[in-house]
Structure 1
C-alpha cells in the first residue's frame, strides 16, 4: 500500500537577502488586485508589465539573463518630481522588491531622509570608503554615489565553507538619482530584517545554500499562499480606508485559493 503523500512544506531561510527570488506574485498581485495597476503586456508572454492608472509609474518583469529582471520606473511629475528608476536582479527576493512597491503605493514618505541610516542602525559596517556600507557577514555592499544613486551588490560563497570558497554574485540592484529616499530605505529595511523568508529548498539556487541558515522547523506551504492573499486584502483595505480585523494569534492559517 502506498503511503499518503505528505503536504508540501517550506523552509525558513536567513539571511533574507540570500533566500532567492521566491514568488513574484508577492510583488505583482498587490499592484494589480489591490491598487488596480493595469496589465500592459502581451498575454502568454514571459514579460509582465503593470502600469499605474495615471501612467506615471510602471513595473516591468523581463526574464533576461543579461539584464535586470525587475524594473520600477517613474516618469516624474509636472509638479517637479524628477524621473527615477529602480532595477533588481533575478535572484532578488520578491519580498524585498515588494518593500519598494508597497511603499510607493501606500502613501507619503515617513522614514529618514538618508536611507543609509537604516543600515547604520542595523550595525552594518561602513568601509574605509565613506560612501560604502557592508553587512556584518560581508555578503552585501551598498554604495551611494555622489548624486544620490545607490548600488547594491550581494554575493554568496560558491562552495562549502571548508573548501576555501570564492565569492559569487547572487544579485545586484541599482537605484537611479532622484529615487525617493523612503523607497530606498524601505528596500534596505527589508534587507536588514531578521525575519526569515519561506522558500522551497528544491527551487533555491544550489550555491546559495552554502551561505544561508535554514531552520529545522518547516512551515506548511499553504500558509505562504494564505499570507499572500491576506496581504493583498490588507493593502486593498489600506487603499479604501476599510480596516480588516487582526489575525488571531496562534491560529492556523487555512488554505485559500483564487
Structure 2
C-alpha cells in the first residue's frame, strides 16, 4: 500500500548501528534550543559549529571525505585534562544523541563500565585488541592499551575487514559515563526509524539487517523532533522551545548518502 498524502513510509531498522546516519537535526536542534548551545554556520561551507554555554565544549559537524564528520573537543575540567570524541559520517544520530544527552544532563549519572551495557546484550570477547564484539560481528568496542596506559576507545561498525561503515573514537580522558551512554545506545536492541530510502543503508542484506516499513501519520513524524527537544528542555526547567528553526537557518548540514 502506498502512503497517503497524510502519511509517510517509515522504515524500522535493526541492528541500529547499521541504520545509516539519520538526520543531523536530531542532535543540533536540541543542543541549540533545549541546552543553550550557540551555533554558527557558514552559508558557503557545509558545516555547523555549536558551543556549550560555558564555552568548555565545541561540537563541529563538517563533512570530510576521509575523516570523522562529527568532532567534539572539551577543555580541561578540574583534574581532568582536555578530551575529545569523534564520530564517522554513518554513525546513527541516536547513538551520538545518547552521548550528547549525557554530556548536557544537569546531573551526570554515576560512572559505569562502558562494557557493561554490551555484556548485558550478550556481546562477546573480541579477538585481537581488548574489547567486545556484537554476536553478528558487525560491531566492535575496543580499548587497546594496558592498566597503566589504557589509551583511547575505538567503536567500529563494519561489514567485514575491508568494509568499515563508521567509527567512533573517544580520547583516554573522556568521562566514562559518557562512553557508557554511547554503548548503552549502541547495545539497545530496539530498531531505529528512518524516512529516507532504504538504498541509503550501508547494506540491505536480509541476513545482516531487518527492515520493516509502515505508513505513519506525517504529523507524528514531524512532531518527533519537537517532542525530543521539549523533553530535553524539561531537564533544565526551561520554557518550551520554539518549534521553528533558530535564526535565518536551522543548524543542519546535508546528509551523507
TM range (shorter): 0.7 to 0.9
Q: What runs of 5+ residues in structure 2 fail to find an aligned partner?
A: 246-257
**Match of residue 134 from structure 2:** 135
TM-score, normalising length: structure 2: 0.83
Cα displacement string for residues 13-50 of structure 1 (whole angstroms, at most 9, x for unaligned residues): 11100000001111101100001111133245311000
Q: Does 1:236 align with 2:233?
A: yes
CA distance in 2, matches of 1:130, 1:168: 19
Q: Which residue does 1:175 correspond to in 2?
A: 170
1:74 maps to which residue?
A: 74
Aligned to 1:185: 180
Aligned residues of 1:12 and 1:218 also touching (Cα < 8 A): no
Q: Compare the two structures and name the one with the higher helix fraction.
A: 1
Q: Counterparts of 1:257 and 1:241 in 2: how far apart (Å)?
A: 17
Q: CA deviation at 1:196?
A: 1.1
Q: How does 1:1-258 map to 2 (within 5 A)?
A: 5=5, 7-43=7-43, 45-77=45-77, 79-129=78-128, 131-146=130-145, 147-156=150-159, 168-202=163-197, 204-205=199-200, 207-210=202-205, 211-240=208-237
Which runs of 4 or more aligned residues in structure 1 lie more than 6 Å from their structure 2 counterparts after TM superposition?
Answer: none
The alpha carbon displacement at 1:223 in A equals 2.1
**CA RMSD of the aligned region, Å?**
2.5
| Aligned partner of residue 152 in structure 1, secondary structure | strand
Deviation at 1:102, TM superposition (A): 0.6
Q: If the length of structure 1 is used for normalisation, what is the TM-score?
A: 0.82
Q: Is the 8 A contact 2:9 2:214 kept in 1?
A: no
* Structure 1 unaligned blocks of 5 or more: 158-165, 244-255
Q: Distance in 1 between matches of 2:167 and 2:128?
A: 19
Q: Distance in 1 between matches of 2:167 and 2:59?
A: 17
Deviation track 1:117-175 (CA, whole Å, cap 9, x = no partner) reads 12112110013447121001110111112224110111137xxxxxxxx8621111111
The question of whether the paired residues in 2 share the 8 Å contact of 1:26 and 1:98 is answered with yes
Work out the CA distance in 2 between the residues paired with 1:24 and 1:4.
26
Structure with greater contact order relative to length (CA < 8 Å, sep ≥ 6): 2
What is the CA-CA distance between 1:228 and the residue it aligns to?
1.0
Moved more, 53-62 or 100-109: 100-109
Structure number with bigger Rg: 1
Separation (CA, whole Å) in 2 of partners of 1:221 and 1:134? 37
Structure 2 CA distance for partners of 1:191 and 1:149, relative to 1, 3 Å? same
Q: CA contact under 8 A between 1:124 and 1:134: conserved in structure 2?
A: yes
Tell me how far apart the structure 1 counterparts of residues 192 and 167 of structure 2 sit (CA, whole Å). 19
